[in-house]
Chains A and B, each alone.
Chain A
Amino acid sequence: MSYRSGHSGSCRPRRLRRLGLTLIEMLVTITILVILLMAFGSILTSSQRAVSASQDVMKGNNAVTAVASLLREDLVNFAPEGFVAISRDAAGNDRLVFTTAGTYKSMVDATIANCARIEYGVTNDSDRILWRRAVLLNPHVASAGDHEQVCLADYKLYDHAGLLGILNPFFTDPAGLTPSPNSLAQLSDNWPFVAQPCSRLEVDWTPSLLDPNDPNNPGDWYSCPTGQTRLWPGEEYDPVKVGGYDVGEYVKYSGAYHVCMTATSGAWNPANWEDAEMFPEALRIRFRVGDGETFELIVKLGKN
C-alpha cells in the first residue's frame, strides 16, 4: 500500500492486464489449425470422392441386379415350342426375343395369359434405355395393348421359313408386329424400361456348354455378325466365321439387321430347323449399365 500511496506520482502506470492472445500465441494457434485443416481437408476430399463413387456403384448395382434377375427369370421360363431369336443391328445393338410359358399379367389391364413373348432391346437414341416387353399370347380375354391372339401351338404350325416371315416385321418394319421403341417417348406403360443408360447389350449363344469334340475346352459362343445390308427374305446366306466355325447358315440378312434365330416345331430338336445341333442350349448376355463394369450372364434356356 505504501508503494501505491507513497510513490504514486513517480510510478509508471502498471501494464494493462492481457485478456486476449499475444501475436505469438495467435500464430501458433493458426499454424496448428491450418495443419489440422489441411490434413483433414485432404482426407475429407478423398472421402467425399469415394462416397460419391460408391453411390454411383450402389445405384448401378441395383440396376444390374434387376436386369440380371429379370433375364434369368424370363429365360428359365423359355418355352421351346416357340422360338428364340437374336438380332444385331449395324450399330452393334442386340435384340433378344423368345417365347415363355408361365403366368403373365397384363401391365395395362387385368388380362392374364399362360404364355408370352418376351423382348429385350436398347433404344438407339442417346438415352440408351434398356427395355423389356412381355407380350401376352392368346390371353383369355381379347383386348388391345400388350396382347396378341397367337398361342404357342400356332407357332408350332409354322415351318422355319414361315416363322421367319412372321418375325420379319419385328426386325424391319416400325409399324409391324412389334415395332421397336426407339426413344423414351415411344416407350409406353406396357413397354417399361429396366435400366438407363445401357451402354452395351450383347447376346451370344452356344449349342452346347460342353464341346462334345473336345471336353477339355469350353463350349463355343456364337454371335450375330454386325450389320451388313442384304435384302431379306432372299434366303441368301454368307459363310461367316464366328469362333472358328462356319455359321453362315444361321445368319439371316434383314435390311440393316442380322437375325440369328432358331425355331422349333413342337419338339426340342425340330425337324425343320436347318441344323438342330445349333439350337442354343445357353445364352451369354453381356450388358453394361452406365459407364460401369460389363456384367456377363450365362443362362441355360429352360428349367434344369
Chain B
Amino acid sequence: MRFESYIPAAAAKRRGEKLRGGFTLTEVLIAIIVMGIGLTMAAALFPAAMKETETSINDVNGTIIAANGMDIAAGVLAADSTDFPAPDTWYVFADADNTSIIPAGLQQYSGEPNRGFVILGRQLAAGRNEYQLVSIAYWKNAGGDVTAEELSGFAVDPNDTTGLTVTHVGGGLRVGSPVIAPNGKFAVILSVNDDGTEGYLDRRLDSSDNTAWVIHEAGMNTKSPAIATLVRTVMLKQ
C-alpha cells in the first residue's frame, strides 16, 4: 500500500486535491478531425457563393444584352424590307447562321465576339402589325458559334403531372437554354441528363407543344450559353 503514495493521482486524491487529467493522443486526433470536418463544411460554402456571384453577373449582363438586342431588332426590322414568313411561325432574325438582316457586328455586345444576342420573331396574325420578338442574350462557354435550333419531337413528359419535365429524342436539350414554345411562352432548362434527351424546366409548359426553340453553342453538349431571355410585342411595319 505504501507504493501507492508514488502514484500522484492517488496521492492527490488522498490529499483531497482535484485530479487534473490530460488529453490522450486519440482524443486530440479526434478533435482535429472534427475541426477538419467543420472547416471543410465552411469552405464548401464558398463555391456556392461564387456561383451566386456568377449568376448575378450573368443576370446583369444578360438583361442589358437582351434589351440591347430587342431595341436593335426593333430598329432594324422596322427599316428592313424582309417580309415575315407565314404568320404564327418563328423566324430566326439573328444568330451565327443568320446575319443578313442583323449583321454579325451588331449581334455582338460591345464588339466582343463571346457575348451577344439571338433574335427570333413571328407575326402574330396575318395583316396585323403586331410582331412578337424574343431576344436571348448569350455568353459563350468555349467560343463556339451560337445558333437557335428548332427541336421537333420535343415533348412535355406525359408522366410528369407538374409539366416541368421535357424530353427530346435527339438530345438537343442544354442547361440554361430557354425552351421557346410555338406560342411564345418560354421556360428555362435547369438540368438535363447526360445525353440531353431529358430536361427539367423552371416553369410549366403546355403539354400540347411538340416543337420548341432552344439555343445551342457549337461543341457544347450539355450547357447552353444563354443567360437571359426577353419577349416583347412590337409594331414593326406601318
CA distance A28 to B24 in the complex (A): 12
B226 beta carbon closer than 8 Å to chain A: no
Q: Give min CB distance, B134 to chain A, whole Å.
A: 14
B169 beta carbon closer than 8 Å to chain A: no
Partner of B9, one of A19, A50, A281, A299: A19
How many residues of chain A get a CB closer than 8 Å to chain B's CBs?
Answer: 51
Partner of A36, one of B8, B32, B64: B32
Cβ-closest chain A residue relative to B60: A61
A236 beta carbon closer than 8 Å to chain B: no
Q: Give min CB distance, A131 to chain B, whole Å.
A: 21
Instruction: Flag if A14 contacts B63 (CB, 8 Å).
Output: no
Contact indicator per residue, chain B 90-121, by CB within 8 Å of chain A (1) or not (0): 00000000011101011001100000000000
- Residues of B contacting A161 with CB < 8 Å? none
Residue of B2, B75, B235 contacting most chain A CB atoms (<10 Å): B75
Q: Give min CB distance, B103 to chain A, whole Å.
A: 5
Instruction: Flag if B56 contacts A218 (CB, 8 Å).
Output: no
Q: Give min CB distance, A303 to chain B, whole Å.
A: 9
Pick from A40-48, A110-118, A193-201, A226-234 the stretch touching chain B: A40-48
CA distance A33 to B36 in the complex (A): 9
Cβ-closest chain B residue relative to A8: B2
Instruction: Flag if A304 contacts B74 (CB, 8 Å).
Output: yes
Q: Give min CB distance, B218 to chain A, whole Å.
A: 22
- Residues of A contacting B232 with CB < 8 Å? 304
Q: Contacts A61-B60, A72-B67 given; indicate if A210 touches B80 (C-beta within 8 A).
A: yes
Q: Give min CB distance, B59 to chain A, whole Å.
A: 8
Interface residues of B in 208-238 (CB under 8 A from A): 232, 234-236
Q: Give min CB distance, A269 to chain B, whole Å.
A: 14
Partner of A68, one of B57, B64, B100: B64
Interface residues of A in 7-21 (CB under 8 A from B): 8, 11, 13-14, 16-21
Instruction: Flag if A14 contacts B79 (CB, 8 Å).
Output: no
Instruction: Flag if A19 contacts B72 (CB, 8 Å).
Output: no
CA distance A216 to B75 in the complex (A): 15
Instruction: Flag if A281 contacts B64 (CB, 8 Å).
Output: no
Pick from B42-50, B136-144, B158-166, B174-182 the stretch touching chain A: B42-50
Pick from B15-23, B146-154, B195-203 the stretch touching chain A: B15-23
Q: Give min CB distance, A100 to chain B, whole Å.
A: 16
